[in-house]
Amino acid sequence: MGVKTASEAETGQSATNQRLITYAEAGVEAISEEMRRDPTIFYMGQGVGPRGGNFQQSRGLWTEFGGVRVRDTPIAERGQTGLGIGAALAGSHPIVDIVFLDFVLEAICEIIQQASTIHYISDGKFKVPVVVRAAGGGIRSTGPHHSHTFYSFFMHIPGLKVALPSTPYDVKGLMKTTLRDNNPVIFIEHKALYNTKGHVPKEEYLIPFGQAVVRKPGDQITLVAMGQMVGRAMQAAAKLEEEGVSVEIIDPRTLAPFDKETILTSVAKTGRLVIVDEAYAACGVSAEIAAIIASEALYDLDAPILRICTLPAPHAFSPSLDNYLVPSVDRIVTEVAALVGKKL
């Protein structure tokens, strides 16, 4: 059977090929299938070998592929990323698992100054098919060193691709596409999603980069959400529906390349735009989306653009304070309702 695009697979699932698996399992399945297909792929990171990773994101890979193709590394993010770039230049396709997105900052020079530019400065002679995989976002009030969502840093840089899957289906489809791409890819998964379950077909499928998905149709408000916020937006939309407010939810799935057309089409229909993002508002993805709509669809808007983001303060160890900072379902409901003149 041929490879399906996301839309074909999502609408074409049958009772025989559907199964519920976790977000973590979907990632492992994608990587193992691609490692069997392509012997140049190898995996390295902290604790990704026999232990299977902090979030079981590499569970079983070491058992199947051994210590040559699945390698534990020291806590040395800059070193392992530099090694990965060098291996990519030499003909391999490495996956560099940084574990926590926060510590990608240790390797920022390698990613931005080297991985993103080598193809350009070599006049296309060299390719850098390296995958930097990391878990972002807050979970269980882990404080300012293990809660960040730095994806806008990489969306800003030409030469990098950025994936941000929110479902098990998307993790598998996007990871398989990533491992067939000759460009450096930043693959960001949300820690709070690893144990969530979703339908993933048994048959092979790929999700093209730059193809957003409408998670829920609606006609009064366009709501763009990413990562963990997609689930919260869906819960909020269900509550708003009870109050007669129809929300269309769009999940970009990848930030570079970015599918603006799906959002522009939706805004032309609804006349209102809300962006829900776990990252900070300043200079972030929400600001970029707002700028796109303001410059290309200003006269389609019937109300100001609303951004619902994490408040500008360090992530807290206090659960009550952290819950206050990060967008909640209740906050989304309240602020979206106010946009259409309802007080809930």
Q: pLDDT of 50-60, one tens digit each?
A: 998 888 998 99
Q: What is the mean pLDDT of residues 212-221?
A: 96
Which CATH number belongs to the domain containing residue 62 in this structure?
3.40.50.970
Distance, first Cα to last Cα, the chain: 50
Kindly tell me if the per-residue pLDDT of 303 is higher than 50.
yes
pLDDT for residue 3: 43
Structural domain that includes position 166: 6-199
Alpha helix positions (H), 96-167: 108-109, 118-121, 151-155
Are residues 35 and 159 located together in one domain of the fold?
A: yes
Q: Are residues 54 and 84 in the same domain?
A: yes
pTM of the full structure: 0.93
Q: What is the structure's pLDDT at 10? A: 56
User: Is residue 192 located within the same domain as residue 222?
Assistant: no
Q: Clarify whether residues 129 and 261 are in a common domain.
A: no
Residue 329 has pLDDT above 50, yes or no: yes
Q: What pLDDT, on the 0 to 100 scale, is given for residue 53?
A: 86
Residue indicated by tokens 């990562």: 227
Residues noted as catalytic = 146
Average pLDDT over residues 137-151: 84
Maximum pairwise Cα distance, the chain? 60
Q: Is residue 208 included in any domain, yes or no?
A: no
Burial class (CB in 10 A: 0-12, 13-18, 19+), 129: buried
The pLDDT value given to residue 327 = 95
Q: How far apart are CA 124 and CA 70, in angstroms?
A: 29
Q: Are 162 and 58 contained in the same domain?
A: yes
- Running DSSP on this structure, what letter comes out for residue 339? H
Q: Which residue has the tokens 């399945």?
A: 29
- Among the candidates 171, 199, 227, a domain finishes at 199
CATH number, domain containing residue 266 = 3.40.50.920
pLDDT of 123 higher than 90: yes
Q: Which two tokens stand for residue 310?
A: 């994490």
23 and 80 both lie in a single domain? yes
Going by the DSSP 8-state scheme, the letter that residue 315 receives in this structure is P
Alpha-carbon distance 293 to 278, whole Å? 20
pLDDT, tens digit (0-9, with 9 covering 90-100), for 251-293? 999 999 999 999 999 999 999 999 999 999 999 999 999 999 9
> What is the total count of domains within the chain?
2
- Which of residues 142, 164, 199 is at a domain's end? 199
